Amino acid sequence: MDRHLFPTRSLRGSLRVPGDKSVTHRGLMLGALAQGESWLYHPLKAGDTLSTAGVMRALGAEIHEEGAHFRIRGVGLALKEPGDILDCGNAGTLIRLVSGLLAGQEMFTVLTGDASLRRRPMGRVTAPLRQMGARIDGRDGGRLAPLAIRGGGLKGIRYELPVASAQVKSAVLLAGLFAEGETEVTEPAPTRDHTERIFRHYGLPIEVQGNRIRTHRAQPFAARDLTVPGDFSSAAFFLVAALITPDSEVTLEGVGLNPTRTGLLTVLKEMGADLSWEVTEGQDGEPVGWIRARSSQLKGVAVDPSLIPLMVDEIPILSAAAAWAEGETFIPGLEELRVKESDRLEAIAKNLNNLGVKTEVGPDWIRIFGGSVQQGRVEPFHDHRIAMAFAVCGLQTGVTVHDAEWASISFPSFWEDLDRLRGKD
Ligand code: S3P
């Protein structure tokens, strides 16, 4: 479905963004593994996390939608062998994390997903899980889904992550809950630490020492309610929208402000953004607060590559901000963008080009020459974040977004929320 956005003069108001996608995936998985009943409050109910609910149900958990929440009855560590293959849809976090869980279970499962997911690299999880003792097969020697897993009999390993990936870290830690002895993961750079925090919330074994994270075999653990913070990655679209639109002020409330997620705030500040935020509470182990953005004249910067893992999902929207900034923005360290829901480096460059913005692209970097956005057409390449980021980029000039429904993978109310801020209720 095409969505036409007429030029926007101003964005005003306050908003609560939907629940965090990463925390919802983990909340559903751990609630499903726990013993007894718990509530997952304010989860994200969107394409990706509904895939997780479906998979955890097929593995024996009861998951009921109750208004805005989920009520979960967990299986007490022993998942049930499903009668059919498990469809992970578009969700990379689901297929990778659940591979870790299934590696620990004495049963046979097959995981698959949509065309995008079946193109994404799985060797990064199948390699350490095989080292732990799981038998895993798949296309291209286990590097691509569908993956067939026969789990059980795991031994703990010490594993140095070859890429900075929270999904791989989490898959190994989840498998570690079922493994004999200790499992240790070393990260090359800090990545989002929601798994470590949720383990603590449930009283599961977890020890963090610098870049080393350890766990060991878990005993059945009691169900516990969990409240999901608003998703910083969803908030990011409206923050940047307010910064680049004249006469704008937008406040986002109840947003997760976990420092392993907020690298974008550092970069936008450096670009001259009028941004303020405050952590107002700690909610089940995650810092939560508000963020306010006002119209700003941004300037181009060279982004510090060590910040990329702390903003890996925000590169598309940062590129939109760079398109409106004065001068050049250089973003290095982007090799992982090639293997997201789309080849995001390519998708960013093509959409900027459609909107009249000049770029140069290397294997793992992009240079964006700001200041010349024109009216145009956005092509999401089946990628939710590309659809939303470049809709924002074209807000002032007017833009047509092709296949706009892709936003619902992580943010089903995106278009309505945007209309509210534009005063088009
Ligand atoms: C996620 C980790 C990141 C991120 C994804 C969610 C997670 O992926 O891009 O949207 O919840 O662990 P990588 O681990 O592949 O960087």
Q: How far is the CA of 363 from the centre of ligand 1 (A)?
A: 20
- Ramachandran sector of residue 23 (left: φ over 0; alpha: ψ -120 to 50; beta: rest): alpha
Q: How far is the CA of 92 from the centre of ligand 1 (A)?
A: 8
pLDDT of amino acid 145: 98
Domains of the chain: 3-19+229-421 (3.65.10.10), 21-210 (3.65.10.10)
Q: Is the CB of residue 30 less than 8 Å from the CB of residue 224?
A: no
Phi, psi of 45 (to 5 degrees): -110, 95
> Is residue 158 annotated as involved in ligand binding?
no
Q: How far is the CA of 164 from the centre of ligand 1 (A)?
A: 10
Cβ partners under 8 Å of residue 232, min gap 6: 20, 255, 256, 257, 258, 261, 262, 264
Q: List 16's β-bridge partners, or say none.
A: 253
What residue owns the CA closest to ligand 1's atom 13? Answer: 165
pLDDT of amino acid 425: 57
Q: Which three-class secondary structure state does DSSP give residue 116?
A: coil
Q: Is the CB of residue 232 less than 8 Å from the CB of residue 20?
A: yes
> Is residue 35 annotated as involved in ligand binding?
no
119-166 tens-digit pLDDT = 999 999 999 999 999 999 999 999 999 999 999 999 999 999 999 999
Share of the chain above pLDDT 90, in %: 99
Q: Which three-class secondary structure state does DSSP give residue 51?
A: helix
pLDDT of amino acid 424: 78
The set of catalytic residues is 313
Q: What average pLDDT does the segment 340-358 reach?
A: 98
**pLDDT-derived band at 4, boundaries 50, 70, 90:** very high
Does the predicted TM-score (pTM) go above 0.85? yes
39-74 tens-digit pLDDT = 999 999 999 999 999 999 999 999 999 999 999 999
What is the residue type of 411? F
